[in-house]
Structure 1
Amino acid sequence: MKKATSLKQLGEFGLIERLRSKLNTHSPRIKKGIGDDCAVFSTRPNTVQLTSTDALIESIHFDLKTISPVQLGRKAMAVNISDIAAMGGTPYLALISLGLPMSTSTKFIDKLYLGLQTICDSHKIELAGGDTVASPKHLFINVCVVGEACKNRVFYRTGAKPGDQIFVTGNLGDSAMGLKILMAKNKNFGAAKHRNALVKKHLEPIPRIKESSLLAKSRLNVTSMIDISDGLTQDLGHLCSKDNLGANLYEDSLPVSEALYNVCLQKRHDPINWTLQGGEDYELLFTIKPEDVKNLKRLFLKANTFISHIGEITNSPKKIILTRENGSKVSLKPATGFNHFK
């Protein structure tokens, strides 16, 4: 019998069986995986369950001309894992729903699942099942990730108070510049090593589970946290607006990577603008009580993990001020993030 090479030849149930064979479900907590109406899993005492879901749609969230199927699978999972990290949790289970054009090759699906499975394996997440449907034109991926956290150490967007200190993991602005490089016809963005580093940050984001776990397992008073998907200014605005607060940021403390700095120098851009406005970095932005700052820095230094102390929360409602290196102050306009329905 001729081997099926497209969805049209494979059919829905053939596809389900193909995907079932790729799922390595062996945790005793998984009572039922693929093959029933729901995935069934047991929970533990003294914990809360965290559930996050995100959808990625071709031509809106990604372009298959600029991302490989392996990278796409990995990124689709990574952005959901990042949501679990943003609340101090540990992910352990994932469900995938796919809308696939009939022309989709089985080779593409295999590589997509390789990306999904690879990042799941690295975080010990069980890829337990999902759903598949035909799509008339574009590829659609929906990922649901389930995690858990200690019920007394869940970090929310609400909770910051005036005087709390603002920290962020990693560097900011790299992903947005990476996307610009991918979409540009003229690839004159300086040295290849810098271009490649920025593009990799966009295509292969790293969910900050390690950093989240450090905070969750510590006794530090983390008052709020969010992952940066829409850009520093906008996501900091989310932390502030929930409690009618503002923030002061310090230009000389904002984390700018060597790659972003050099590309901005080449293109005559201000790297600080990219740091403030660029999205999809998936770094953790969090606030902490002033008395815990020294212990926080000591904790992350010991773990050899990079964080930046970038500002403080104020009682000026929804007002974010940037103090420039020369001492001048600039009121930052709220960033306009992507809105699917506008």
Structure 2
Amino acid sequence: MTTPLTPEMIGRAPKALLHDHLDGGLRPATVLDIAGQIGYDGLPSTDEAGLAEFFRTAAHSGSLVRYLEPFAHTVAVMQTPESLHRVAFECVEDLAADNVVYAEVRFAPELHIDGGLSLDAVVDAVLAGFADGEKAAAADGRPIVVRCLVTAMRHAARSREIAALAIRFRDKGVVGFDIAGAEAGYPPTRHLDAFEYMRSNNARFTIHAGEAFGLPSIHEALAYCGADRLGHGVRIVDDIEVAPDGTARLGPLAAILRDKRIPLELCPSSNVQTGAVTSIGSHPFDLLARLRFRVTVNTDNRLMSDTTMSQEMARLVDAFGYGWSDLERFTINAMKSAFIHFDERLAIIDEVIKPRYAVLIG
């Protein structure tokens, strides 16, 4: 590759996204509009630019706990069927505009019942928004497949209930389960009954692990909980020794993670904001990619990180000099790791991703 990839060029590439939070991706204008409609007066700014700046700077805290605090405002405006549908619809619009062809978007239904909705009604509204967004994107010539992960908050005690919710909606657009929230003090094993329920129903799940907490969190997620994927997982680098000559020795946890091809849902910009890494250039993404871990590129929270999939890829290109073949590999990694059925994954890889990259590579 002799010509450096520009953000505009990267924007044309097809993308697959596995780790994106619905309540972390609202448009600032939408937050303001819904807040005005429902009389929510807790926003820190009343203009679009000021609100966007607030979310961006508040999230860049160096702490996962502090990073999560601004979500109180987005969740506050997502308490009615209409607002949930709108946010989900606009999410699909924004992803399709960035040439994302497949996305799994997650959210915690238990955070959206303050207005009296049932958990089922919350999921119904979001799935309807996704479905309508898919139809609109297809009509606009940007087809996209969007599926949902339901998330349980790891500090709460509803994970088994949310796992059951995932199974109830498994044929309606929910393809998996997740736990999220502050890691320290809330290990994955607190929710073993939820993971056992998912396994007993032959269902898939991912676990936020190895972001704000280290190797023990990853070990529990894999050895005790049986996670299919890891949300973030950047601290697996603590189990890898790199010699001065660049050769690497994997510890037992890193080795089993690679051997079993457990996907890592890496979110570079978010990892900098939460203090998991100090900069994009020091992110272990490149080391893990060179060692052939199954790395994927993700946004985490598009509003909080002021980012898109194209921007995340562009930042990695700037930091590590990646070319088209690298971005194609990361995209296929993600598509291989999706929670939809094998034939559906293969169709998107063979009929969408590879042909479009072939054109870009020339």
Q: Given the two structures, how large is their TM-score scaled by the length of structure 1?
A: 0.26
Higher helix share: 2
Larger relative strand fraction:
1
Q: Point out the structure with max Rg over C-alpha.
A: 1
> Structure 2-normalised TM-score?
0.25
